[in-house]
Amino acid sequence: MGDYPVRLTTKGRYAVTAMLDLAFHSQIKPVTLTDIAARQTISLSYLEQLFARLRRANMVKGTRGPGGGYMLANAAGDINIADIIAAVDEPLDATKCGGEANCQNEKACLTHDLWMGLSDQIRDYLKGITLGQLLEKHRVQEIAKRQDHDAHQVVELHRHSELVSSFNDLL
Amino acid sequence: MGDYPVRLTTKGRYAVTAMLDLAFHSQIKPVTLTDIAARQTISLSYLEQLFARLRRANMVKGTRGPGGGYMLANAAGDINIADIIAAVDEPLDATKCGGEANCQNEKACLTHDLWMGLSDQIRDYLKGITLGQLLEKHRVQEIAKRQDHDAHQVVELHRHSELVSSFNDLL
DNA sequence: ACTTAACCTAGCAAAATAGTCAACTTTTAT
DNA sequence: ATAAAAGTTGACTATTTTGCTAGGTTAAGT
């Protein structure tokens, strides 16, 4: 599937966090990066860097002028986590053996293939999680919390059995 | 669950790759870091750094002297990917709002909680995948490939290397 | 004794991360 | 028309992480 392994870094976390903030607040009108920066304590200029990539990846739309700001390019339910992370992360192949048949060392490529397979698993998993799902789950959780103050309900998007089964189908 | 978010970096990939190599080759006798370094094209000293952490996390056992090397501390089926990554990665809390009730900004913590929930999901997912599973999956795939290969042409590649034969006899 | 290999320590260069600063352009309200 | 709000761009800096080099010490096998 993917040519390069998935990376889960603070950069991706910033991007997902910002996109979540955007999904949450841009329901009615565009949200400025200044607002997101203030809410999420991320520097404005760093956000600008991230959103430049997100815009180029067609994940957000910016409108200029007073009353402007950013909105999601698609419905929150159509934006998945894997795409957000891919948008802000450099490809950075890290194949080492070129990925071609030029790799003579079978053993070396063995673990490489295993890791790439695992990486694809994680990517598929993240592709199955959307901003909409996260918000919806949180909304449900909030309602539950309001109804039962002490009930600490764990957010569970996918069932674990689903993950394992999808894992078993691959490789 | 976890106090800090999961990170999927090249460091973690190196660790998992090395552990996979170890799981694959240390069935009979200990494996030296020099061997792993050669096979996986990772520098010996970097491996030493990683294995120092893995050893402190009780994931591998080292034996000194000639004929020594590293072995898995537990069965490959009992070592999961999440623990390997956690062992080599710095905690680095990145909570920003302390995780306590001292965070006055509800909206800021909203996305923070959402990300932490997602992070826990990923961790659970990785906890469900063991080195043993990865090796087993690969073995099944290899056997299938070999059978397919044998069906088309008679095997003559045994002489090619002891790599293939030793590979097929494992697990 | 000698060798092998784990184990330890310090330092270092390159890269990635996170952020700053400044000078823009475009849109829109007045 | 003009000013304000907001996005756009590029260059620049500081810090951290990464991956590695070089040098040791310690334990165990021959």
In a domain, A63, yes or no: yes
In a domain, A29, yes or no: yes
CA–chain centroid gap for B59, Å, is 10
In a domain, B112, yes or no: yes
Scanning A14-33 for CB atoms below 8 A from B yields: 16-17, 20-21, 24-25
Span B5-61, pLDDT tens digits: 888 889 999 999 999 999 999 989 999 999 999 988 899 999 999 999 999 999 999
In a domain, A4, yes or no: no
- Give the percent of chain B with pLDDT over 90: 49
Q: For chain B, what is the domain count?
A: 1
The nucleotide lying nearest B64 (C-alpha to C1') is C6
Span A29-87, pLDDT tens digits: 889 998 888 888 888 888 999 998 898 888 998 888 888 889 999 999 999 999 999 99
Q: Does residue A43 lie within 7 Å of nucleic acid chain D, judged by its CB? A: no
On whether the pTM is more than 0.85, the answer is no
In a domain, A169, yes or no: no
Scanning B39-98 for CB atoms below 8 A from A yields: 39-41, 81, 94, 96
Domain containing B91 — which CATH number? Answer: 1.10.10.10
Phi-psi region of B89 (alpha: psi -120 to 50; beta: other; left: phi over 0): beta
Cβ contact, residue pair B114, A138, below 8 Å: yes
In a domain, A143, yes or no: no
Closest chain A residue to B114, measured at CA: A134
Full domain range(s) for residue B70: 10-137
Q: Which residue in A166, A57, A76, A160 sits closest to A121, CA to CA?
A: A166
Mutation choice for A interface testing from B6, B8, B109 by most A CBs within 10 A = B8
In a domain, A131, yes or no: yes
Q: What b/e string do you get for A141-164 counting C-beta neighbours within 10 Å, with b at 16 or more?
A: beeeeeeeeeeeeebebeeeeebe
In a domain, A88, yes or no: yes
Q: Does residue A117 lie within 7 Å of nucleic acid chain C, judged by its CB? A: no
| pLDDT class of B79 with cuts at 50, 70, 90 | very high
